[in-house]
Amino acid sequence: MNNRSAIIVGAGILGMATARALALKGFKVKVIERSQFSIGASIRNFGMLWPIGQPDGQLYERAIRSREIWKEYLNAVSIPFNSCGSLHLAYSKEEWDVLEELSDIFRESGRPVNLISPEQIGDKFDGINQTDLKGGLFSNDEVIVDPREGIRNLPLYLSQNYGVEFIWGTAISRVDSGSVYSGSKRFDADLIFICSGADFEVLYPEVFKQQQITKCKLQMMRFVSDKPNYKLGTSICGGLSLLHYKSFTASKALDKLKVKLHDELPEYIKWGIHVMVSQNMQGELTVGDSHEYGLDFDPFDKHYINQLIMDYLKNLIKIDQWKLIETWNGIYPKMTNGKTELHLEADKGVHIVNGIGGNGMTLSFGFAEEIINKI
């Protein structure tokens, strides 16, 4: 019987996924978080479990495994979620050429995708702009869960089902092999995992200076419709999103679309804007987003960026009856060397797990299982 112990520093989705994976191996796990509850990038996102954005192979399989774990948890605690899939819309020949090619590639690898006509889109989904619409690529893989509800209830689930102990409001200021410190208070464990997200430079700053890692700030908005029973029916993306996810680089036609969008929408490219909308089970519509990179950011949101997002969204969906209720920004760490994550041993038994980018909801559970199985 395993009687070893582990400490996780950070109660974001990656920290909690790591806690679950360790507990399954028989570890006695403590999660120590400086805030009173999870407030970082893990709750400031679309709530999309997004396998379609992951390339075939390990990352796609990791996304599918993570989705299975999410569903297991959500069903266990009766949190509603929406297995609504996703729809990428095409309004130009170049966008349609990419979707046609991706449809063939994805179906050949076994993904549940199909091309649908403008007429089918109009019949099935509410409020899609039909002007110049060429069609869309629908994927059945994607799931929406409100990240605020999903993350807020996860600590209790992990405590009750896996024996994970959470220590809130406790900032860790120093880490040694086998110990972490909050001021003069010491916590000991056989293994330590630093899952500090965008605060990566606080612990082991000299290690992070050697890594090819930066931060990304994104701006997002939330709306409600004036129609009380409005249902979008799926998550919606446009042509700009085809430039954003690695899975779409499998299309040779993407190069031509990239040139077109760089020429026609230079401000969108400058601010890393690709426009998506998801609808949670309460009917709220989450819209975004932009991507600014650096180690520090202006703390204020730019109205100009939000307006660009809205202007583009109006080309995809009829939103005249939508009411803005919230705006915010989030910051997450991202690797700059093309890698999809960071895992290293900073000291004996001290593991840094970070750099998963904007894929925390989609990949963390599967990624954590892989790490713990290796070590």
pLDDT of the residue at 69: 98
Decide the pairing of beta strands 143-144 and 165-167: unpaired
pLDDT of the residue at 3: 86
Q: Which of 231, 336, 237 is nearest to 289 (CA)?
A: 237
Distances (CA, A) of 142 to 36, 74, 222, 286: 31, 15, 20, 15
Q: Which of 300, 305, 310 is nearest to 271 (CA)?
A: 305
Tens digit of pLDDT for each residue in 254-299?
999 999 999 999 999 999 999 999 999 999 999 999 999 999 999 9
- Go through the domains of the chain in sequence order and give each one's CATH number: 5-46+148-211+338-374 (3.50.50.60), 86-140+213-335 (3.30.9.10)
Pairwise CA distance, residues 179 & 181, whole Å: 7
pLDDT of 41 above 90: no
Over residues 100-123, the mean pLDDT reads 97
> Which amino acid type is present at position 245?
Y
Q: Which of 171, 198, 157 is nearest to 342 (CA)?
A: 198
Give the lowest-confidence range in 41-50, 154-163, 332-341, 358-367.
Answer: 41-50
What phi, psi does 171 have (nearest 5°)? -85, 125
Query: Would you put residue 185 in left (φ > 0), alpha (ψ -120 to 50) or beta?
Result: beta
pLDDT of the residue at 1: 53
Pairwise CA distance, residues 127 & 121, whole Å: 10
pLDDT of the residue at 2: 73
Question: Do the Cβ atoms of 350 and 175 come closer than 8 Å?
Answer: yes
Give the lowest-confidence range in 35-49, 178-192, 236-250, 331-345.
Answer: 35-49
pLDDT of 228 above 90: no
Question: Do the Cβ atoms of 17 and 365 come closer than 8 Å?
Answer: yes
